[in-house]
A and B are shown apart, each in its own frame.
Chain A
Amino acid sequence: MSEESRPKSIQLIITRQDGPDAPPYKETFEVPYRPNMNVISALMAIRRNPVTAGGKKTSPPQWEMNCLEEVCGACSMVINGRPRQACTALIDKLEKPIRLEPMGTFPIVRDLIVDRSRMFDALKQVKAWIPIDGTYDLGPGPRMAESKRQWAYELSKCMTCGVCLEACPNVNSKSDFMGPAPLSQVRLFNAHPTGAMNKAERLHAIMGPGGIAGCGNSQNCVQVCPKGIPLTTSIAVLNRATVGQSFRDFFGSDNM
């Protein structure tokens, strides 16, 4: 951008809410422009001078953030209509005025802060872990082909940010669908040589309430995932695995 075309200041319209049951309202802020700004640094500027564009003193907007490198998953919010991480949302690349809203799929705590605990509960429900015997030294782990490791690693980058749930039309207050993120974790743990020993348990978990049946294949999740996780492929793999599992359950298998 050339010197002259740079704006002097940028406008942000923030949807605010004082508490879980309070009514939402909008406030407009104006912050001085600086090169290479992201949404977080704009919010930080507001926090240092919490005055609206109309000159009214107000409380600084509340939001979540932590690593600012897009690995912690904290700063998800809806920016110009799209859920994403605020840290990677560069001001120069956004349409102005910038609209910031909380991710409405989740219960609002305050302003841009939402309660994503349902995602962590879902991880419990699908048993997203390797059931190791203990943390004492039991020698090396199982071998694994590097090629398999590479795709499994992509799945393991999920930071539970909630963007995929926000984009999914089937995750809402009318359904108990757990959403794409925890499903993909089932694929990850079922792919691990030790995790595979408890494959059936995890498949049964996602064949239960809130599980994979809730997916309607709108495939928004894979489009919005900030880590580029192949969520719809994971779900398709699990579709095949659960169909196989239900056949084994019904008709019986070798170990029956």
Chain B
Amino acid sequence: MGKGKIIIVGGGLAGLMSAIKAAEAGVEVDLFSVVPVKRSHSVCAQGGINGAVNTKGEGDSPWEHLDDTIYGGDFLANQPPVKAMCEAAPGIIHLLDRMGVMFNRTPEGLLDFRQFGGTKYHRTAYAGATTGQQLLYALDEQVRRQEVNGLVHKHEYEEFLSAVIDDDKVCHGIVVQDLKSMEIQVYRADAVIVASGGLGMIYGKSTNSMINTGSAAGELYQQGAYFANGEFIQIHPTAIPGEDKLRLMSESARGEGGRLWTYKNGKPWYFLEEMYPAYGNLVPRDVATRAIFDICVNQHLGINGENMVYLDLSHKDPHELDVKLGGIIDIYEKFVGEDPHKVPMKVFPAVHYSMGGLWVDFDQMTNIKGLFACGECDYQYHGANRLGANSLLSAIYGGMVAGPNAVRYLKGLDKSSEEESSALFDDAREREKERYRRITEMDGDENAYVLHKELGEWMTKYVTVVRENKTLLATDQHIQELMERYKHININDTSKWSNSGASFTRQLWNMMELARVITLGAYNRNESRGAHYKPEFPERNDEDWLKTTKAKYNPDTNGPDFEYEPVDISLIKPRKRDYTHDK
């Protein structure tokens, strides 16, 4: 066979990194993205990227990083890939530095590192408070360079509709739709890497960008890919409530000395410092979120009785704040109109990150041959809760693993996708054309955006911080009702040109399918672990539940069947997770 061809779906950090790796190996890449890749959701990451470079004489090491990550993830992550990631981390930070990322520096001109939640070390490299944006731009620039070299072909404003999968469960390409001309086309490839990001839009309002519908992953799940650990959704403790979205206030605010407090008996109460003396404000996110939630919802001690607490930076040096946290200070000032240099910010938890995602093996390949996944859309690196500043790392590292493994996979094929029969591809395209035609003809009386809002409200209310079996079941019932009402959507817009409403309607179905995976996964898991907290089962139960959830789509029931798989704990023995004292 020839040199082979790789398709990458998604142009965030994971997609771009895998594209660079594949191009570097001399393989041509078709890169698909619903937005210009420079606008991918990776830009929203603020605080930094972890790597045990150990420049502060603290004795940090990749092993410590591994231990913090596994412990922070409540032992649900398979340990060998996490170890490999932590070992690669310092090299990744140096690589990004060489690409020109404007990381903050020490007086000697070396990389500076700050502290983040769930660790005792200064392990987080950062570029102000817009680290994700800076990293994405660096990779975007390298991909642009490969584009000029002729190895990467970008297809921006083209949406992944489905994978082309043969009867032997091997992936040979994808079907896409041009979001301007609305034309549906099929592309052949010898390997497909999906790096389609998170699914926060399932919750309506979250810290996620508007493209984070999880639609691509949801479609692949319906095509037979396993979706793993879906019930683990990270709720970030500090976000600004908003009409259109919940805007993240980075954990780096606390890493740089920010304190959480509210009034109790008329006096400021620094609750995290009191409850968790060892880690104080730098407990992992799930822990901080549950504390805030309990204080506001159960104890009614939020600011003015509302669901908000203070995140206070006003005691810090204003110039230092600008240099280290400028990005988020700007966001708060622009959207709230108050100056965090002077007054404490008002924040509340918000849906932030999906630890779960497409199931992949240690080579980042899904259970469908030739179909790889990396970035937030996979489930590999964070277990039951992700540590702050590990997401940028896992996205880039996932791409670094997926890219070369996709190349290795296609080199081992004895038949190129170009030689596959065209019937397979024609059928796939026609199927999508038919599906799209049916969407454009929907003329009921429901509005897709209204249904979405309702989905988000239910998911946010019942499948976030505190989960109860009764309401989880009710939520699943409600999602199924929404799926019924979905059939009566009115498309409102019959334009055959740049019709975002039709695209959204298609995505909404995939969102609802994944919503069921999340909800039922949570319902089944009768324990509390990491971000998954059930008052009915408040303890972690390793005996029954130290295992990975794998959801498999059942077309007959239009819902998930669940399987469970043991977790690889070959490196660190599980121990009780308790942040009231040092681990």
Residues of A within 8 A of B (CB): 18-19, 34, 36-38, 40-41, 44, 47-50, 57, 59-60, 62, 64-74, 87-88, 90, 109-110, 113, 116, 120, 123-124, 127-132, 134-135, 137-146, 149-150, 152-153, 156-157, 159-160, 188-189, 192, 194-195
Indicate which residue in B39, B110, B492 contacts A67 across the interface (CB closer than 8 Å): B39
Q: Is the CB of A132 within 8 A of B142?
A: yes
Known: A34-B243, A40-B244. A141 touches B97 (CB 8 A): yes
Tally A-B pairs: CB < 8 A: 189
21 A–B pairs (Cβ distance < 8 Å), ordered by A: A38-B335, A44-B449, A48-B449, A48-B450, A59-B492, A66-B41, A67-B44, A68-B247, A70-B334, A71-B130, A71-B133, A72-B41, A72-B43, A72-B44, A124-B148, A130-B138, A135-B24, A146-B106, A149-B102, A156-B127, A192-B100
Chain B residues, Cβ within 8 Å of A36: 242-243
Indicate which residue in A47, A62, A123, A156 contacts B134 across the interface (CB closer than 8 Å): A156
Q: Is the CB of A73 within 8 A of B109?
A: no
Known: A36-B242, A67-B209, A72-B43. A60 touches B497 (CB 8 A): no
Residues of B93-111 at the interface with A, using a CB-CB cut-off of 8 Å, are: 94-95, 97-100, 102-111
Chain B residues, Cβ within 8 Å of A120: 36, 38, 144
B545 contacts chain A at the CB level, 8 A cutoff: no
Q: Is the CB of B243 within 8 A of A132?
A: no
B400 nearest in chain A by CB position? A135
B488 contacts chain A at the CB level, 8 A cutoff: no
Known: A34-B243, A156-B102, A192-B100. A113 touches B20 (CB 8 A): no
Q: Tell me, in angstroms, the Cα distance from A239 to B121 when the chains sit together.
A: 45
Q: Tell me, in angstroms, the Cα distance from A192 to B501 when the chains sit together.
A: 44
Chain A residues, Cβ within 8 Å of B180: 109-110
Q: Is the CB of B39 within 8 A of A130?
A: no
Q: Is the CB of B43 within 8 A of A132?
A: no
Q: Given A59-B494, A135-B24, output 20 extra A-B contacts at Cβ < 8 Å.
A: A44-B449, A47-B501, A62-B500, A67-B39, A68-B247, A70-B331, A72-B40, A72-B44, A74-B35, A110-B497, A123-B141, A128-B141, A129-B99, A129-B144, A132-B142, A135-B20, A140-B110, A141-B94, A153-B102, A159-B39
Q: Is the CB of B128 within 8 A of A153?
A: yes
Q: Tell me, in angstroms, the Cα distance from A39 to B382 when the chains sit together.
A: 36
Known: A44-B244, A71-B130. A124 touches B39 (CB 8 A): no
Q: Is the CB of B243 within 8 A of A50?
A: no
Chain B residues, Cβ within 8 Å of A138: 94-95, 98
The minimal Cβ–Cβ distance linking B103 to chain A, given in whole angstroms, is 8
Q: Is the CB of B334 within 8 A of A145?
A: no
Residues of B245-270 at the interface with A, using a CB-CB cut-off of 8 Å, are: 245, 247-248
Chain A residues, Cβ within 8 Å of B331: 69-70
